Chain A
């Protein structure tokens, strides 16, 4: 019958101020937020997996899409994303060092490590903006068929991509952009591609060493390249020229790939951006000595949790968008 025993300790259990999980209120709330946000991101990534498995035979190959590095010409798949990943992990490390310095109440160290964390975050967001820009611009251009499938062009000998700008014939004639002012006010069209379908088709017919590559993959996972006769037959289905990617058209293949890319990396980039803003706020608080007066740097630890979470999400985005 030990229930009858009353001690001072047991009264304390119900007296409030108890921390059964050993974490303060603020830290618990940050963890709640992180768990729910993790579920949001998982929802997005699972939806991406759904669309990918649905179109598993025609999904674009990421290694062929993200091949650029700023200031360098040529084909370097993965290098730049690897750099971005490293930057984010590095800024995670400076963050955790700031937290560690905070525990030891070393104000100047916290300031320096927070500063480096903010710089890392800014480099990452900038890189992402650059990556978006490159993806939106595209590099080779392609034709889209009436059914919305993408036809890309490759060299018959080397199998390398050929840009439509390299073989299209320039045919005299004008094609005007439909703007609002010209017709019904609610109808307009986006910017016109550099070449018309007819120019690309004529150029293709005049160059016998160019073949069409379709979206479908063979058993080994390589995109199928049509023979010259099949290519000539296929090109008759072309309905428009696509350059780069947006939410409706995507020169690299399935438009869902572009949609998910913009949505998921955009949502993640927004998290990084808000993380940088929060870090800046805390950075100034540290400089002003707010936490020194409070005798506790727990606030740095809380934003640190958020910052590491952003890094954690990127690890998954990196795998599912660029590697797998």
Chain B
């Protein structure tokens, strides 16, 4: 069970000698990602802010992807999902992902529609 830990991260690229050193390794990685996020958040490079991809500018996509990367390592290494059985892991991970993707899709489409009604429709709200 939880007594035998899988000690390699990055798909086997880095292999730690003990569970404790793996924890510190993951901490260093998470800190690094957060630092990159904060630096990008303060500088806001014009090239990334001004290019838009799928309705959002590139910088926001970078933030969201980095967040998912962090979430992966917290769940896999701190919450020991890496050591759990595949069936349990998939149940825990894919159920929320499926439902949340659906919710995001519905709500953001609806919000964009309402935005356009406010903008182009005969609704006066900014007076």
Contact = CB atoms under 8 A, between A and B. Distances in A.
B27 A93 contact: yes
A79 B42 CA distance: 9
Contact of B108 (A50, A103, A301): A50
A220 to B, nearest CB: 7
Interface in B27-64: 27, 30-31, 34-35, 37-38, 41-42, 44, 49-50, 57, 60, 63-64
A324 B60 contact: yes
Contacts of B44: 63
A311 interface: yes
Interface in A60-100: 63, 77-79, 82, 85-86, 89-90, 92-93, 95-97, 99-100
Contacts of B20: 97, 100
Interface string B104-119: 1001101110110011
Given A50-B108, A100-B23, A20 B87 contact: yes
Interface string B79-117: 110001101100110011001100110011011101100
**Size bracket of the A interface:** 35 or more
A221 B49 contact: yes
B79 A308 contact: yes
Nearest to B74: A312
A17 interface: no
Q: Which of B23, B75, B87, B95 has the most CB of A within 10 A?
A: B23
Given A23-B84, A78-B38, A86-B31, A315 B23 contact: no
A50 B110 contact: yes
B84 A319 contact: no
A312 B71 contact: yes
A137 interface: no
Contacts, number: 140
Contact of B111 (A42, A50, A149, A305): A50
A55 B104 contact: no
A49 B19 contact: no
B70 interface: yes
B17 interface: no
Per DSSP, are chain A's interface residues mostly helix, strand or loop, or mixed?
helix
B20 to A, nearest CB: 6
Nearest to B87: A21
A53 interface: yes
B111 to A, nearest CB: 4
B63 A319 contact: yes
B70 A35 contact: no
A165 interface: no
A96 B103 contact: no
A164 to B, nearest CB: 22
A323 interface: yes
A283 interface: no
A85 B74 CA distance: 13
Nearest to B69: A315
Given A23-B88, A47-B107, 19 more contacts: A21-B84, A21-B85, A21-B87, A35-B92, A49-B111, A51-B111, A53-B111, A54-B111, A54-B118, A63-B41, A63-B44, A82-B35, A96-B78, A220-B50, A221-B57, A301-B80, A308-B75, A315-B71, A319-B37
Interface of A: 20-23, 31, 34-35, 38-39, 42-43, 46-47, 49-57, 63, 77-79, 82, 85-86, 89-90, 92-93, 95-97, 99-100, 103, 145-147, 149, 220-221, 237, 301, 304-305, 308-309, 311-312, 315-316, 318-319, 322-324
16 contacts: A21-B85, A23-B85, A23-B88, A31-B92, A38-B96, A53-B111, A82-B35, A89-B34, A95-B78, A147-B126, A147-B127, A308-B79, A312-B71, A315-B71, A319-B67, A323-B41
Interface of B: 1-3, 19-20, 23-24, 27, 30-31, 34-35, 37-38, 41-42, 44, 49-50, 57, 60, 63-64, 66-67, 70-71, 74-75, 77-80, 84-85, 87-88, 91-92, 95-96, 99-100, 103-104, 107-108, 110-112, 114-115, 118-119, 125-127
Query: 9 smallest A-B Cβ distances: which pairs?
Result: A53-B111, A147-B127, A21-B88, A50-B107, A319-B67, A82-B38, A42-B100, A54-B111, A308-B78
